[in-house]
Amino acid sequence: MLKKAYDWIDERLNVTPLWRDVADHDVPAHVNPAVKMSAFVYCFGGLTFLVITTQILSGMFLAMYYTPDITNAWYSVKYITDEVLLGNVVRGMHFWGASLVIIMMFLHMLRVFFTGAYKAPREMNWVVGVLIFFVVLAFGFTGYLLPWDQKAYWATAVGSQIAGSIPLLGPYIQTLLLGSHTVGALTLARFFAIHVFFLPAALLVLLALHFIMIRSQHIAGPL
C-alpha cells in the first residue's frame, strides 16, 4: 500500500531523483565509526540537528497549550505539566533539550575547530555555524522567561541589564527586549514572538545555508 502511494506521488512529482541526490553519496572512511572508532566525533553535527528537530517538534506541541500573557502563562505551563497527556514528558524533553542542544553544538564547533574544518574553502560555513550558535543561545534566553515564574523573571531582569550595559547600543537593545523599562507583559509578549516566530525563521534559513554548503563542499578531510 505504501509503495502504491509512493509510486502515485512519484509519477506526478518525480521525487525519486530529489531524495536520491540527497541520500546517495559516499561517506568518507574518516567519518564512519564502523571503519574508524575516532570518527564518533564527527557525529556531533548530526546529533545537534537531531536535538534541534526534537526541540522544534516538542515546542510545537507546547505552543498549542501555552498562553503568552502574565496572568495565564504560569497556569498554562502548570496545566501542560499536570493535566495534558504526556505533557510533563514533552515539557521535560524541551527543557533539557534546550541545554543539550547548546552542549552538542559546542562540541561540534570544537571538533570543527580542532580538525581545521573551518579553513578555506569552508570559512563561510564556519561563519554560518557561529551564527546558528548565537541563534540557539537566543532561543535559550527568550524561552527561559516563558514559564513566568520568579526564577525566570529575575534571570531576565539581570540579562536585560547586562544587555543594557553595552556601550552606545545597550539602552536601545534593552528597550527592544523589554518593551519598557521593566520586565512585564510587553516583555513576555516580545519574548514569545521572538522565540516562536523570528528565531525559528532565522534558524531554518541558516540551517539551509549550512547544509547546502556542506553538500557543495563535501565533508572536510581528516586532521
CATH number of residue 113's parent domain: 1.20.810.10
Q: What is the pLDDT of residue 63?
A: 96
Residue segments in the chain with a per-residue pLDDT below the cut of 50: none
- CB contact set of 77 (below 8 Å; sequence gap of 6+): 66, 91, 146, 147, 148
For residue 3, tell me if it sits in a domain.
Answer: no
Q: What is the pLDDT of residue 74?
A: 97
Q: Which residue segment(s) compose the domain that 129 sits in?
A: 29-217
Q: What is the pLDDT of residue 34?
A: 67
Q: What is the pLDDT of residue 32?
A: 74
Which of left, alpha, beta for 27 (phi over 0: left; psi -120 to 50: alpha)? beta
The four Cα atoms 25, 28, 32, 38 give a dihedral, to 10 degrees, of -160
For residue 10, tell me if it sits in a domain.
Answer: no
Q: What is the pLDDT of residue 223?
A: 67
Q: What is the pLDDT of residue 28?
A: 77
For residue 36, tell me if it sits in a domain.
Answer: yes
DSSP letter at 182 equals: S
User: CA 39, CA 36: separation in Å to the nearest integer?
Assistant: 6
For residue 6, tell me if it sits in a domain.
Answer: no
User: CA 36, CA 57: separation in Å to the nearest integer?
Assistant: 33
Q: What is the pLDDT of residue 55?
A: 97
Structural domains in the chain (count): 1
Nine cell digits for residue 13: 512529482
Instruction: Quick: pLDDT tens for 129-182.
Output: 999 999 999 999 999 999 999 999 999 999 999 999 999 899 999 998 998 888
Nine cell digits for residue 198: 523570528
Nine cell digits for residue 79: 496545566
Q: For residue 111, which amino acid is it? A: R
Q: How many helices (H) and strands (E) does the chain have?
A: 10, 0
0.85 surpassed by pTM: yes
For residue 156, tell me if it sits in a domain.
Answer: yes
For residue 72, tell me if it sits in a domain.
Answer: yes
Q: What is the pLDDT of residue 40?
A: 83
